[in-house]
Chain A
Amino acid sequence: MAKGFSVRSQPGFVFIALLCFFLLYLPIATLVFYAFNAGVSVAVWEGFSLRWFQSAMHNTQVQEATLRSVFIAVTSAFLSTIAATMAALATTRTANYPGLTFKYAFINQPLMVPEIVTAVALLIVFSRIKIWTGYSGIGYLLAAHTAFCIPFAYLPIRARLENMDLTLERAAADLYATPWNAFKRVTLPLMWPGIIAGFMLAFVTSLDDVVITEFVKSGGQETLPTYMLGQLRRVVTPEINAISTVFLAISILFVTIFFFLNRKKV
């Protein structure tokens, strides 16, 4: 055999793979690069400056949209994590019982339907409710976000529970712990990493949402992604790059934390 023959290598694969990594990061790198441009163009480099970060920070529309995005994301992630935790407790660590499959299908349903379809269906229903009740507040966005965040919060919590050892809870019961105490002192601490992971996944999902928000929001309820979508129709300045860069940094931070949370378990 020729030297260095590896059973694992395939001709051209390394090249395509490295090209792939390069192409995955090229657009993002360009975007971040021009966020620091001193000029008004997103194509001609005129020197380093932080002016677009400053202008984004002082833009009241951006401020409001950011606050709204964070408020919606925190609230709906919180609500969906509670609902998902309860649901995960009720659908794991048990023999199959009537309705279990139905519950799985129901909870995961938002993942199966294209976002645009859910968005349009919500538009139809909520616009009718808006006419009937006259209420057009942020409650609609919260309800919609909570619903589609539930499956994202549910998956890691369920995974955590399924890998959990039941003997510890039995031991607690043997030592005369009440069911509530056993849950609080044994089960909850054990499933906590799953709950945190679920919350973070729900938070990022809500923060990133464009399509459903775009259709459900009432006037003056822009979130950061819908604000950006609106801006893309106009002449784009590096301000959008600056906002995207900050957004990107937050996402990367979250993914990193999530990554290490999940790795510890193994």
Chain B
Amino acid sequence: MTTVREIAEANVQREIRRRWLLTAPALIVIFLAAIGPLFVMLLYSFMVKGDYGDVKFGQFSLDGWFNVFFTRDIFDDTLTFADAHLSILWRSISLSLITTVTTLFFGFPTAYFIATRPQHQRDTWLFVVTIPFWTNILIRTFAMQEVLRNEGIVNSALMAMHLINSPIQIMFTNWAVLFGMVYVYLPLMVLPLYASMEKIDFRLVEAGYDLYATRIQVLRRIIIPLVNPGIIAGSILVFIPSLGAYVTPRVLGGGKSMMLGNLIELQFGQGRDWPLGAALSITLMVVVTLALLVYVRNASKGEGSHG
């Protein structure tokens, strides 16, 4: 005889099965056109490179991974560090860090400004920040290019003020990539910062002033600790896409100021070294995952201290 309990359990099982079926289309599409290919790429990073791109299917080698870090001299087989790759990796990481700090410097006061407006104005100010955010990244990069060019606004303005006599070359330098990334990713910093600043209890700030704190002390000892989760979230949101940036360094940096994304593309284009490209992609993914893990750890720590 079936008991009530068994019927209930069977119902739960059927419900779970139904829920899996409902999720199936999304999971299958993402597997086929997003996650699955990552595993294929991992496999490709261990294959022998083909003569004209692609790989020699089924022939395995560690050359792809080896070439990420070392170069073998073609004449005498001596090993040296792959300076070009390491300098591009270093540029990617350092430019992304500087971008993060710069967007924090500009984004913090901006988010604070929005959060301290009267309630009915906040939505409008937020909207003003969101519009550039939803504008195509290519269009924003292109707009930045027009500003930074030798004939662009910056150089024309400086020349009109007689500060310089001839245009400064900004395009195709690290500076151009930095300006571009700060411009493109700034809204990603402002939005999470705003979300945590909105919740600040200003009675705490008032208490600080009552106890003779200066403005700087209030900022350092009260406001910044309160919005710390927002600072971390914003930094991660800026740092990760900066690391993998492709469009901005391609348009503003050209061949001179390449980042990891462009180095990867090169291997699938003129470089014709797919295993190396695959290995570089996985390296990038590992760095990003590490950054995310740091974030998750910090986030859960923050929750714990409040609870």
Contact = CB atoms under 8 A, between A and B. Distances in A.
A232 B282 CA distance: 29
Contacts of B1: none
Given A17-B110, A106-B27, A229-B247, A116 B264 contact: yes
Interface string B115-132: 010000001000111111
Contacts of A109: 30, 34-35
Contacts of A225: 136, 138
A19 to B, nearest CB: 8
B175 to A, nearest CB: 15
A235 interface: no
Interface centre among A30, A43, A103, A121 (most CB of B within 10 A): A121
Interface stretch (A20-28, A57-65, A163-171): A20-28
Interface stretch (A46-54, A186-194, A243-251): A243-251
Given A115-B244, A116-B264, A211-B247, A17 B20 contact: no
Contacts of B139: 28, 31, 228, 244, 247-248
A150 B30 contact: yes
Contacts of B205: 7-8
A211 B147 CA distance: 23
Contact of A87 (B26, B137, B241, B282): B26
B22 A115 contact: no
Interface residues of A, number: 87
Contacts of A28: 132, 135, 139-140, 143
B29 interface: yes
B19 interface: yes
Nearest to A113: B285
B64 interface: no
Contacts of B265: 116, 120, 215
Interface stretch (B75-83, B273-281, B299-307): B273-281
Contact of A8 (B23, B202, B292): B202
B16 A97 contact: yes
Contact of B23 (A14, A87, A229): A87
The prevalent SS among residues of A at the interface is helix
Given A28-B132, A90-B19, A13 B112 contact: yes
Contacts of B136: 207-208, 210, 225, 244, 247-248, 251
A135 to B, nearest CB: 15
Contacts of A12: 109
The prevalent SS among residues of B at the interface is helix
A31 B147 CA distance: 9
Nearest to A32: B143
Interface residues of B, number: 91
B81 to A, nearest CB: 24
B259 to A, nearest CB: 10
Contacts of B251: 229, 232
B37 A121 contact: yes
B152 interface: yes
A24 B132 contact: yes
Contacts of B116: 8-9
Given A13-B109, A28-B135, A259-B130, 12 more contacts: A20-B106, A21-B128, A24-B132, A27-B183, A84-B26, A90-B19, A106-B30, A107-B27, A120-B41, A120-B281, A150-B26, A255-B130
Interface of B: 16, 18-23, 25-27, 29-38, 40-41, 44, 54, 105-107, 109-110, 112-114, 116, 123, 127-132, 134-140, 142-147, 149, 151-153, 156, 183, 186-187, 202, 205-206, 209, 215, 219, 223, 240-241, 243-244, 246-247, 250-251, 260-261, 264-265, 268, 274, 277-278, 281-282, 284-285, 288-289, 292
Interface of A: 7-14, 16-21, 23-28, 30-31, 34, 41-44, 79-80, 82-84, 86-87, 89-91, 94, 97-99, 103, 106-107, 109-110, 112-118, 120-125, 127, 143-144, 146-148, 150, 154, 204, 207-208, 210-211, 215, 225, 228-229, 232, 240, 244, 247-248, 251-252, 254-255, 259, 263
22 contacts: A7-B202, A7-B205, A7-B206, A17-B114, A19-B106, A21-B129, A24-B129, A27-B143, A28-B135, A43-B152, A84-B26, A90-B21, A97-B19, A114-B244, A116-B284, A123-B268, A124-B44, A143-B29, A215-B268, A225-B136, A232-B145, A248-B135
Name the 10 nearest CB pairs between A and B, nearest first: A114-B244, A17-B113, A27-B143, A147-B33, A90-B22, A121-B37, A43-B151, A13-B109, A16-B109, A90-B19
